[in-house]
């Protein structure tokens, strides 16, 4: 009888211990399931965290200070800016516009450079003070090219574009034109056009 009682008590103790352990195990599993997935796990199934990490990377890359730390080659950056600018050809002209709904000339510059972490002012006059001046013959991809306004005798900055050619080639640029005949984002040449007369400076900002 005594032995049976000891066995009975031992079983009760074991059941109690198992119950406590099982409860803790379930709680830990619940906590684990509530904890966010790792990037590698969520990226495999297209989870939200994969997108969050991608956005974080883009945010870091777009930060101008981080750009310097990452040592992105200027030539590669210029190619990317020019490529993006050219992809926007056909976007309409819109006074004060800075989005893909429409641009003015400096708004176009502001938009395409900001995409790559470079903050430039939304003003032709202020862009004339950015970077360093270089001769027109040395203009290269990614340089800003600044012109006067359209009024005869105007000597102040009134228009700006992005050079898409390299030294030794006839200078061409992509810009947001306010022309009533064929406005919007397009490519134009400098030589043998009205832009040759209106040319002010090339500014290197990369």
Would you please indicate which residues are annotated as catalytic (active-site) residues? 105, 159, 175
**Edge-to-edge strand list for the sheet holding 157-163:** 132-134, 199-204, 144-148, 157-163, 172-177, 184-189
Angstrom CA distances, 33 to 21, 28, 51, 62, 153, stand at 18, 9, 19, 34, 72
Cα 1 versus chain centre, distance: 82
Strand partners, 172: 189
Strand partners, 201: 146
């Amino acid at each position: 009888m005594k032995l049976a009682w000891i066995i009975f008590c031992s079983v009760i103790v074991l059941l109690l211990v198992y119950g406590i352990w099982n409860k803790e195990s379930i709680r830990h599993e619940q906590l684990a399931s509530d904890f966010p997935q790792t990037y590698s796990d969520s990226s495999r199934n297209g989870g939200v965290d994969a997108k969050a990490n991608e956005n974080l990377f883009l945010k870091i890359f777009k930060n101008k200070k981080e750009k310097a730390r990452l040592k992105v080659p200027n030539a590669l950056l210029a190619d990317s800016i020019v490529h993006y600018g050219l992809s926007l050809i056909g976007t309409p002209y819109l006074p004060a516009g800075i989005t893909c709904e429409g641009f003015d000339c400096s708004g176009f510059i502001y938009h395409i450079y900001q995409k790559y972490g470079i903050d430039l002012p939304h003003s032709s006059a202020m862009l004339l003070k950015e970077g360093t001046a270089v001769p027109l013959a040395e203009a290269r991809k990614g340089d800003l090219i600044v012109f006067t306004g359209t009024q005869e005798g105007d000597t102040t900055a009134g228009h700006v574009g992005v050079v898409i050619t390299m030294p030794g080639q006839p200078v061409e640029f992509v810009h947001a034109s306010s022309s009533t005949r064929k406005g919007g984002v397009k490519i134009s040449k400098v030589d043998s056009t009205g832009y040759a007369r209106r040319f002010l400076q090339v500014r290197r900002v990369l």
